[in-house]
Amino acid sequence: MTQKTAKRQVVIVTGLSGAGKSSALHAFEDIGFQAIDNLPLTMLSALIDEAVTGSSTAPIAVGIDSRTLHFSPSLFEEAIKVLRGRNDINLHVLFMDASDDVLMKRFSETRRAHPLGEGQLLRTAIKQERDMMLPIRQLVDGLLDTSRRTGAETRRVVLSRFTAHEAPSMVVTFMSFGFANGVPRDADIVLDVRFLRNPHYIDELRPKTGLEDAVSSYVRADEGFEPFIEKTMDLFNFLLPRYRDEGKSYLTLAIGCTGGKHRSVTVVERIAGHLTLDGMTVNRYHREIAGDEGR
């Protein structure tokens, strides 16, 4: 019997300058990937050829963005189409993004020049790169927005989504957030739970979070809570296997309330704690609770 050869895992990390591509590549290195940054597009196919025929079995992570020699959206698209046609690799294209204001702050703090600066205003360079990368966003398998994440938090997200060995067919992340701080840019599905009773108006509950029994009990006592959970679980049990069957690698389900610390946290804990689907890993992330990344 002929032994089946395992496909090599290949991740292309791209996106906007300053959005955390280096942090992501370091994280891939930590889980055993061979990480190569700023590889010219003309060398990409040759690199993959050498990797899949060489003695090493390590997965590969490659950083390619606007700094890359001979980079253009059309050449990038052509290269990705060629790689997607190969039957000896599992390809995943990850796009790193962040808001313009956050990118402005990062470049100002580090005093690094933007790759497209060339004497123009920083905000103009950021907009120019965002416009350039827009066609590439249509090609990606996943988006990671780092606007509200530190480098360490970005690393933890990468570690939760990828492994150097056999990975689950889809990683599902349930994220709680506060609408007051904006809707997560990397959310695939957003649900609003501001219809539930709000612990913010109870003095003894206001400083607590939905991770504490006093708050979660108060929220769960709302007459609409259990019907909402039941219908939402039915929806996710219907949708998630279909996303998985379509080949989606990971899915972010964002659940929001006003401040992101009470109702949305309670709902995420309830749903993520009871949802079990074959071939999927379920994570939870509470955006507005400091230090609670990747629970």
Based on the fold, state whether residues 23 and 57 are members of the same structural domain. yes
Based on the fold, state whether residues 141 and 186 are members of the same structural domain. no
Residue 292 within any structural domain of the chain: no
Which residue, 212, 293, 279, 269, is CA-closest to 240?
279
- Could you list the residue range(s) of the whole structural domain that residue 69 is in? 8-161
Based on the fold, state whether residues 31 and 146 are members of the same structural domain. yes
Based on the fold, state whether residues 175 and 136 are members of the same structural domain. no
pLDDT score at 18: 92
Q: Where are the alpha helices (DSSP H) in 180-262?
A: 213-220, 225-245
The stretches in the chain having pLDDT less than 70 are 1-5, 163-169, 247, 278-279, 290-295
Based on the fold, state whether residues 175 and 109 are members of the same structural domain. no
pLDDT score at 71: 86
Number of domains in the chain: 2
- The whole-model pTM stands at 0.65
Based on the fold, state whether residues 141 and 175 are members of the same structural domain. no
Based on the fold, state whether residues 156 and 203 are members of the same structural domain. no
pLDDT score at 243: 86
Based on the fold, state whether residues 237 and 257 are members of the same structural domain. yes
Domain boundary among 161, 183, 215: 161
Based on the fold, state whether residues 136 and 38 are members of the same structural domain. yes
Based on the fold, state whether residues 120 and 221 are members of the same structural domain. no
Based on the fold, state whether residues 146 and 183 are members of the same structural domain. no
Q: CATH code at 64?
A: 3.40.50.300
All residues at 6 or more sequence positions from 41 whose CB lies less than 8 Å from its CB, including other chains: 64, 68, 69, 70, 71, 75, 76, 79
pLDDT score at 1: 39
For helices 122-137 and 100-110, give the axis angle rounded to 10 degrees. Answer: 130
Domain boundary among 161, 180, 203: 161
Based on the fold, state whether residues 223 and 269 are members of the same structural domain. yes
Residue 291 within any structural domain of the chain: no
pLDDT score at 96: 95
Task: Tokens 């060629």: give the residue.
Answer: 82
pLDDT score at 110: 80
